[in-house]
Chains A and B, each alone.
Chain A
């Protein structure tokens, strides 16, 4: 047997074959009446990230009966476990303590609609935002702790409203929710891959599951049929790790981009739902995080480190030493401008991002990044210019120009808000940046309560629900930072109420 992750290193042909085999034929499945069910549960939840865990927790709170969570990977948490732990909560206690009293779900949605560039869904965003505070309170009730006094304004938001878990990872949320769910009697099955749905017309009655599945081998494991009395919840996340789907839906994505996602973010269950007639929207809207670092794999430390840079520091091109963007704009704007930095042979000319070391010498966002060598402390402009092969005179001139704009609190070049910008002087904390594929705004279309819509008549597919990143149409062109955690947790609350109402 091969090591599972080594399997992924097989040639593209084998990987493609594997992925192709995992997309079920569109042929109708057997009528539910003919199925011999191996197990029966009230609610079956597919996926164990924020959305799945919240749905499981809240399904128990709503007394929906037996709850089964199916996770195809060997670990609980999906992308949620490795995310940066940022969580947008209007009117959170820290925000109020900071004297910010004019935030609200409506204010959050206003920012999200702007970043969605005309393609977002206000009703869906409002439904999520209305449950922000409740989601935060549930986290705290489940033992999650957040950084004391920490409430930040992050990219594209007009107000400081993002809190962060104590250690800066979503794993603190997923682990606490998992423990609570186990105590509530939620039944978790890992290595359980949902290969197909069992439908009766457009009603889902159960799922066909491969137990003892070994990702990414679509034929591994043993098949069982699980009946779902009240509902099946798709909480399977996005498909950013699936190169085939990425290329299909957005051929413009640079194929050399790394991906921040956990390996299992490959989207098969979304495709299964589509094959049974579920409506999908915005599949081509695939977001790259502008805060990636070429000096570490996947998600890493860079996102956290750059949360300082965007506010206080500056980003320059190594080609000419100049700034080239408003560092505080959203991911789409920044990713496009960063990835335009190319050498003549089109290879990446990774821009550098830096801020004053002396402003944050003990911050773990700095200490971890420097220790793990994806950021460096540079003691002079000359040292930085030499290290990153920039014209030192040009670099100094552009730092001086930026400092002039900081003093004037006005950026005539890109219109950046300068309220948090600092006068920059060595020593600096410097990192290289490059976008990484991060989030799929597209997915299954649902009503605001989490019910999946059918493409044939736009009616509800009975007993089939979808929440979190597996859904589409909510965020439009760009999802704002710190809003995926909110969406997953909030929609877990919403969907459990929906299932109760529909049962």
Chain B
């Protein structure tokens, strides 16, 4: 844990001193700065409110709507949590998309071809 602290400190110092981003961010978020999302400090994950400044849950649920027997495979409106699933439960800004998967795939073999991370 100490090592993690040192790295975090180094990242903060580096970020502050050079203006460079401490972490890679997704290409569609180019231009955003740390404080645009990190509403709970750099050591914490952002709250949902941060994502919802720009995104709307109902719009997302509509955009990812599925028909027929796949109705409840909608990642933004599902049978277990409805629309209450926090964004960062599935989406990560700084991780490479190939290193993680949506929460649903912990138990189901649904297909989420459009999931970009």
Binding site for B on A (CB under 8 A): 1-6, 17, 74-77, 81-82, 167, 169-172, 174-175, 178, 212, 214, 219-220, 263, 295-301, 364, 367-368, 371-374
Contact = CB atoms under 8 A, between A and B. Distances in A.
B105 A297 contact: yes
6 contacts: A1-B44, A75-B86, A75-B89, A82-B80, A214-B44, A295-B109
Contact of A372 (B72, B86, B108): B108
Contacts, number: 90
Contact of A219 (B1, B45, B92): B1
Contacts of A296: 107-109
Nearest to B117: A3
B108 A301 contact: yes
> For B80, B84, B88, which residue has the most chain A Cβ atoms within 10 angstroms?
B80
Interface stretch (B24-32, B50-58, B95-103): B95-103
A82 B84 CA distance: 14
A353 B108 CA distance: 19
Interface in B76-117: 78-82, 84-86, 88-89, 92, 94-95, 99-100, 103, 105-110
Contacts of B89: 4, 74-75
B109 A3 contact: no
B92 A371 contact: no
B86 A167 contact: no
Contacts of A372: 108-110
Given A4-B45, A214-B45, A368-B69, A75 B84 contact: yes
A301 B100 CA distance: 22
B40 interface: yes
Main secondary structure of the interface of B (DSSP, over half): loop
A130 B24 CA distance: 57
A57 to B, nearest CB: 17
B1 to A, nearest CB: 7
The 9 A-B residue pairs with the shortest CB-CB distance in the complex, in nearest-first order: A298-B107, A171-B80, A3-B92, A372-B109, A81-B80, A74-B86, A169-B79, A3-B95, A300-B107
A175 B44 contact: no
Contact of A175 (B82, B99, B103): B82
A288 to B, nearest CB: 16
A48 to B, nearest CB: 11
A171 B81 contact: yes
A298 B69 CA distance: 21
A145 to B, nearest CB: 12
Nearest to A214: B45
Contacts of B86: 74-75
> For A3, A6, A220, which residue has the most chain B Cβ atoms within 10 angstroms?
A3
Nearest to A299: B107
B79 to A, nearest CB: 5
Contacts of A175: 81-82, 84
A107 B108 CA distance: 36
A6 B81 contact: no
Contacts of B85: 74-75
Given A5-B103, A301-B108, A367-B69, A212 B40 contact: yes
